[in-house]
Every structure is written in structure tokens, then in C-alpha cells.
Amino acid sequence: MKKQKRRSLIGDILGLIFAFLIFIIPFLFMLTNSLKDRRGANQMSLSLPDVFHWENYTEVLTFNHGIVLTAFKNSLIITAGAVILLIVTCAMSGYVLQRRRGKVMSVFNAVVMAGLMVPPAILPTISLMQGLHVYKTLFGMIMIEVALQTPFTIMLYRGFMSTIPIELEEAGYIDGCNRGEMFTKVVFPLLKPVTATVIILNAVNIFNDFTNPLYFLPGASNSTVQLTLYNFMGQFSSSYNLLFADVIVITIPMLILFIIFNKKIVEGMVAGAVKG
């Protein structure tokens, strides 16, 4: 017994050392360099700043008429808009796809499966968006994110529906619910746990998305958080303190989200991966 205890203690210590060296140091590196002056940060060392330059953060946030704040606003609009639409459309689809059988359903299910793997066809999408006059608009960007996250979200809802007993619906019909009431008053409230997963996972994915805004939302006025960070890479190539201040500004919301929803995020990622 004593031997086992000592072995697990050694495991704890080794685990902490490795985790610190491999996973924590890069974050300390970001943090400490975001608080140095320009010359200090450009040396790219892990040392503590001599003086804490908190003004780096105000400088980043007010740079170019507050482009970072505008980008945060845009990213939040896109994320919130897409997540709300995804919840409504995919909960409805997942519900019917799980309950109904038949040839049409197999086609839908096959398309959902394929949609999990296949990347978007970028240029034809741009061309089509131009035709619809939604290219370079927040609305168009929201639609793209919804379309790309639809297979994954439907899969989560469909998977969860299979755990809801059909008897609850039968009881609803006896009480005189119609189809719409059935979904809004009986089924949708029961989907709450998976809806929470859907919100968190999609919010993280969409907020962190760089590639799609790069293609579908170019231009300074509509910039998103990830695009501004990418552009700063060029603009701040000789002032790493500001670059890392922006990195920290973008990372902190995720850290807060992770501290609050740790379990939900991890469980959701596992559920999404295993069912896909």
C-alpha cells in the first residue's frame, strides 16, 4: 500500500513537471512578453518584465481606431447569430432524422455524414454569395458558419434524441398537442443538455475560425478577432509586446469559458468525436 502511494506521488510530480515544461511555458511566454516594452519583447525570452507595461493592452485595444474592439463586436455577432440559428434549425432536423425511417431519411443521413468530412468548395461559394449580394457581409458569414456546422450539430441532436423515450411524445398527443407545440413544448425542453453542448462547441469553433472569414469576410470594416490577429502579425512584426498582448486578449475569453464549463466542453468534444 505504502509503495503504491509513493509511486503515485512520483507520478504526480513527474506529470506536473512535464505539463509545466510542455504545456504551460508557452502560455507564460505569451503573458510575460505581452507585458514587456518593445525592446524587451523582441528578445523573445521567458524572463519576467522589468516593469509591467500594462499600457500595451490599451495600445492594442485603441490601435487603428479600436479595430480590435470592432473585431470583437463582429466576432460576437457572427458567433451568437450562427449559434442561435444552428440551435433552431438543427434541433428540428435532428428530431425528425432520429424518429423517422425510410429512404428519404437515409439520403439525409448520408449527406450529414459526408458533410462531417468534406471541406467547403470555396470559390464557387464566393461566386454564389456575390450573386445573392451577401458576400463580405456579416449575414453572409453567419450563413456560412451555420451551413458548415450543420452536419456536426444535427449529429449531436440526433444522437441525444435517441435517449428520449417516445412515450413522452405519445402522452403529449393524447393531451392534444399539435406538431409544432409538440416540438416547442415537449421535445425541445428535453434537449436542454445537448443544447448546452451545442452552444459551447459551436461558439468555440466559430469564434476561433480563421479560414472562413479570411475567404468570405475580407476587408477592414468587417474584420473578425482572428483576422485582426493575423494582420497584426505583419503590422507588429517588430513589436512583439503588442502582438502578444493581442494574443492574450484573444486567449483570455477562452480560458474563462474553459474554467466555467470545463466538464461540459470536454464531454461535448468526446461525444461529438465518438458519434461522428
Partner 1 sequence: MNKKKIYTLWFLIPSTIIFSIFFLIPLVSSLFYSLTVWDFKSFTFVGLDNFKMFFSERSLSTSVIHTLIYAFLTCALKVILAFFIAIFLTSKIKTKNFLRSVVFFPNLVSTIAVGITFAALMHPTKGLFNLVLSTLGAGRIDFLGNTSLALFSVIFTDVWKGVGVATVIYVSGIQSIDKTYYEAASIDGANGWERLKNITIPLVRPAMNSVIILSLIGGLRSFDLIWAMTGGGPGFATDVVSSVVYKQYAAGFYGLSTAGNVIMFVLIAVIAYPLQRFLLKREES
Nearest-Å Rg of the Cα atoms of the chain is 23
Looking only at residues 105 through 144 of this chain, which bind partner 1 when binding is defined by CB under 8 A? 108, 111, 115, 117-130, 132, 143-144
How many of the chain's residues bind partner 1 (CB under 8 A)? 96
Largest distance between two CA atoms of the chain: 74
State the minimum distance, in angstroms, from the CB of residue 219 to partner 1: 15
Looking only at residues 62 through 81 of this chain, which bind partner 1 when binding is defined by CB under 8 A? none
Determine how many CB atoms are found less than 10 A away from the CB of residue 152. Answer: 20
The distance of Cα 152 from the centroid of its chain, to the nearest Å, equals 13
Looking only at residues 3 through 62 of this chain, which bind partner 1 when binding is defined by CB under 8 A? 4, 8, 11-12, 15-16, 19, 22-26, 29-30, 33, 42-46
d(CA 31, CA 49): 10
Looking only at residues 169 through 228 of this chain, which bind partner 1 when binding is defined by CB under 8 A? 169-170, 173, 179, 182-183, 204, 208, 210-211, 214-215, 225-226
Instruction: Encode burial over 179-188: b for 16+ CB neighbours within 10 A, e otherwise.
Output: eeebbeebbb
Looking only at residues 84 through 103 of this chain, which bind partner 1 when binding is defined by CB under 8 A? 85, 88-90, 92-93, 95-97, 99-102
State the minimum distance, in angstroms, from the CB of residue 66 to partner 1: 20
- The correct pick among 1, 192, 219, 274 for binding partner 1 (CB under 8 A) is 274
Nearer residue to partner 1 within complex by CB, 146 or 222: 146
Burial of 51 (0-12, 13-18, 19+ CB in 10 A): exposed
Nearer residue to partner 1 within complex by CB, 70 or 125: 125
| Residue 39 half-sphere exposure toward CB, CA atoms < 13 A | 2
State the minimum distance, in angstroms, from the CB of residue 27 to partner 1: 8
Q: Are 177 and 189 in contact (CB under 8 A)?
A: no
